[in-house]
A and B are shown apart, each in its own frame.
Chain A
Amino acid sequence: MTVQLKGRAEAITIQWIPKYTFMERLGHWLHTATFVPLAVTGMILYFPFLQPLAQGEAGLLIRLVHRIAAVIFGLLPILYFIIQPRRLLLNIREFLPNKDDLGWLKGAPAYYLLGRHEAMPPQGRFNAGEKMNGLVMIIAWFVFGLTGLPMWFGKGVIPPELYRWLVVFHDLAMIVSVCMFLVHLYLAVAHPLMWAGLVSMRFGVTSADYAAEHHAKWYYGPKRAMEIWEAKKREAAQH
């Protein structure tokens, strides 16, 4: 009996290139480490079936955890701004929408569900999906802070009419950001095409091949990326 080898055996070498700075990664993981406990402790008050965990001493404890996590969560972007103000502004600018996002939106279903590479036009360091995630988290940070701080310190100070709207908007920010988080978690952990995402957020580097495929405009520069993509499309049309 013989074993047939498919293809020829060769050593796989990955060329690693830097993608995220140390501060970007630290900020990302501290954000995660506070966002998750905040969401969990918040949901204990949100879901009626978790009511036993919200009662009495346990309830006091989850509200305390929520507050401790909230302080760190709130301070993170401020500390980032103090340490690296230009970097933060650059990150925010990278998250702003541009015309590449339309191409991503059009190509995303075929690309992410069917793996059709030619459907996805070249993207920058952050593609439209990553930008959406970033923008939702930035907006949610403001909404959580602007509603959460008065909910903490404003009882009896601000009018109850206002307070009632604050709890509703705190909930809405949670619903939107948790949904975004779930999708982000799936893509980062389980989607085959996104294999390098978690690696780069852990170690700061990404594969050059991965960067060429997912972030061509960042890897090659906008002009070269478009030329390569046009060539790829022509090739696909001939087949």
Chain B
Amino acid sequence: MILWADSISRSFSGRRVLSSGRLTVSAGEIVGVVGRVGSGKSTLLKISAGALQPDSGWVQFCGQRHYRPRLSSLAARGMFYLAESNNLVPAMTVRRHFDLIENRFGPGDCEEVLSRLSLVALLDATAESLSAGEVRRVEIALALVRRPLCLLADEPFRSVDPKVCQLLGESFRMLAHQGCAVVITGHEVNLLRPFLDSVTWVTSGTTYSLGSADAAWAHDAFAREYLGPNANRR
């Protein structure tokens, strides 16, 4: 198991968002973390990435347990975290972002990745001039060049068109094929479903590992409380 976060609790201004969160992901696996808005899935992801400190619990990454996880130390060991926004430096060009990643972690398949995600024409554009879909493509391209051991992506399908969603999903699948452990959150459950190996449901401050996407969609409480009565359960 590459990443294992357990017994995670976290409160904000006295309001407990997570009381006993758990997240596990193995190499080559894509885990979807789903739940209602405010259920704590982003909080769980942030804590697992070391971008937020838990009130209690721990994060085990590559066999090393962290009670106060830090993104910088986890990233040095192979973590890559894509927050909902602000992953790119607005004033910096796309090319500079790739240069930084390659200078820090060694050369990747930059040209192939840029070509696959149709980013060559955007290399000299600054991040602040990109559309939401372009930003998401650059972010996932950075992850592909980085080749992390574990990628945590918070709402990667938000505000992007179906074609880009497909491109992003295929990129996640490609990373998983390379042995990367991938965790993604989102509400676009029908778009997410084909790419997921397993589903973790966050509700009432806790998490439930529901198994495969098919098993999750067949889960009565998940279908009733999250997918809704009209959801396609097949």
Are these two chains actual partners, yes or no?
no
- Residues in chain A within 8 A of chain B (CB atoms): none
